Each structure stands twice: as structure tokens, then as C-alpha cells.
Amino acid sequence: MPVRDYTPADRDGCLAVFDSNVPRYFTPPEREEFAAFLEALPGPYLVVEDDAGAVVGCGGYAMGRGAADAHLCWGMVARERHGTGLGRLLLDARLERVHADAADGSIEAIALHTSQHTRGFYERRGFRLERVTPDGYAPGLDRCDMRLVLAGV
């Protein structure tokens, strides 16, 4: 499935992917925050399309200003597509882009925060848990801060 750069025409598709993941992975109030994020992207944002051209996944990253970390942001796959490899495809595409953007060695690590429901996915990809904040997003939805140190650092 193709992974490409986000365009404003993808907004509704990305919001539909978000909606498919409420309430287990995101809370309803986060929808407004995500919509605002799509209006003012802090860095590259990617989408995954299915064979019919519908958005079935999205996620991006931001390079730290003066910081040594890049940050993955708002990564998600349509709920009905979980477990199909799309999450891995999207994560790999974002990591490749960060590595290319960090070729000068200015980025030492990639950070993210996620819930306990996707923590294991990122751990299997090499991210290490740094902190858990119980109920950090909402009651029953913990915040897990994670980090992947880049090779050569």
C-alpha cells in the first residue's frame, strides 16, 4: 500500500481513522486537538492509502528545534486494519524519513508518547519505555513515554 505525504484533501480520511480508534486508543476530546494539528502541521505527516485510495493510516514526526530528539506524532491505523502490518509499514516509513532528515547527526533519538495499548508494538520495534503516567490521557488510559536511540549515538 502506498505511503505518501499528507495533503489537506486527506483531512476527512485522517479524522475517520481517528474516529475508528475512539475510545480505546484516543478520547473523544482529542479529536479537536488532532483536527487542529492537521491544520498546522509541525513537520512531515504521512498517509497510507488502500487500493481504492482511501486513507487507512496516518502519522508524522517533528524535528526538535535545538533538541536532539525527533518526535513521532499522531500515528494511527484504521481500527479494522489493526494487525495487518499497516502500523509497521507506517512506522518504518516515518523512521526512514527521520533517519534521512537526521543524516547530519543532529538527531540522537526518536521520542513518542502512546498508551498502554500500543506500548508493546513500539517496544517490539526497539523503543524503550522511559515513564508511565497512570491515567495520563484519561481514566484507564495511561501515557507511556518512549524513546529509540539512533545507531551511532
The model's pLDDT over 83-120, given as tens digits with 9 standing for 90+, comes to 999 999 999 999 999 988 777 777 889 999 999 999 99
Q: Is the pLDDT of residue 10 over 60?
A: yes
Q: What is the CA radius of gyration of the chain?
A: 15
Question: Across the chain, what does the average pLDDT equal?
Answer: 92
Q: Identify which of 36, 37, 18 has the alpha carbon closest to the alpha carbon of residue 28.
A: 18
The average pLDDT across 18-44 equals 95
pTM: 0.91
Alpha-carbon gap, residue 141 to 48, rounded angstroms: 26
- Selection from 29, 82, 31 nearest residue 57 by Cα: 82
C-beta atoms surrounding 115 within 10 Å: 19
Please say if the pLDDT value at position 153 is more than 50.
Answer: no
Q: Yes or no: is domain 3-107 CATH 3.40.630.30?
A: yes
pLDDT tier for residue 135 given thresholds of 50, 70 and 90: very high
Q: At what angle do helices 30-39 and 11-20 cross, to 10 degrees?
A: 160
Supply the pLDDT for residue 23.
Answer: 92
CA distances from 48 to 1, 13, 21, 75 (A): 7, 10, 16, 11
Residue 119, C-beta contacts closer than 8 angstroms, at least 6 positions apart: 129, 144, 146
* Lowest model confidence (mean pLDDT) among 9-13, 52-56, 64-68: 64-68
Q: Say whether the peptide bond before residue 23 is cis (omega within 30 degrees of 0).
A: yes
Whether pLDDT at 8 is above 60: yes
CB 75 within 8 A of CB 115: no
How sure is the predictor about 65, in pLDDT bands with cuts at 50, 70 and 90? Answer: low
Closest CA to 91 of 67, 105, 106, 112: 112
